[in-house]
């Protein structure tokens, strides 16, 4: 009846499908080789010219910008793997794809970049789920504009 509790059940955790990075891990690795941050927000938000959601405009220092919308064709499908591979090669400019951590405003729109790199054959990369919203709301962490 109403208000009845469900029967107890066993819940088994499985390994996540996507590796993640934490704010503290990123803060500790900023400026060091091996970490390449890729920000999926629109260029104006990345540069700090516009910030409709968070209290601080800009990006995590050293991050590269690839708006997630650049991964798809006008009909909304992912671009061909060879095209994505070439575009990410230009963006990463010699940085090891294995060290890429994707982020955006809140961890959602970074996923198309993560998937695009996998489609391109560049391997599994990681996600910073807290993204810019967590970063810019943490006192003492550096931010950049431009």
Other C-beta atoms within 10 Å of 11: how many?
A: 4
Strand partners, 127: 20, 102
Quick check: is 136 catalytic? no
- State residue 86 phi and psi, 5-degree precision: -65, -40
Integer CA distances (angstroms), 21 to 32, 35, 74, 99, 128, in order: 15, 10, 32, 11, 5
Q: Which of 97, 104, 114, 122 is labelled catalytic?
A: 104
Catalytic residue positions, numbered? 104
């Amino acid at each position: 009846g109403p208000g009845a509790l469900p029967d107890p059940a066993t819940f088994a955790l499985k390994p996540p499908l996507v590796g993640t990075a934490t704010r503290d891990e990123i803060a500790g690795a900023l400026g060091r080789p091996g970490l390449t941050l890729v920000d999926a927000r629109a260029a104006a938000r990345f540069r700090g010219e516009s910030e409709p959601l968070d209290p601080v405009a800009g990006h995590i220092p050293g991050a590269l910008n690839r708006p997630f919308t650049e991964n798809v064709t006008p009909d909304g499908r992912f671009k061909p793997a060879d095209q994505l591979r070439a575009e990410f090669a230009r963006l990463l400019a010699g940085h090891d794809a294995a060290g890429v951590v994707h982020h955006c405003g809140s961890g959602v729109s970074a996923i198309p970049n993560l998937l695009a790199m996998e489609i391109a054959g560049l391997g599994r990369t990681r996600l910073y789920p807290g993204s810019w919203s967590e970063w810019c709301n943490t006192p003492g962490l550096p931010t950049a504009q431009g």
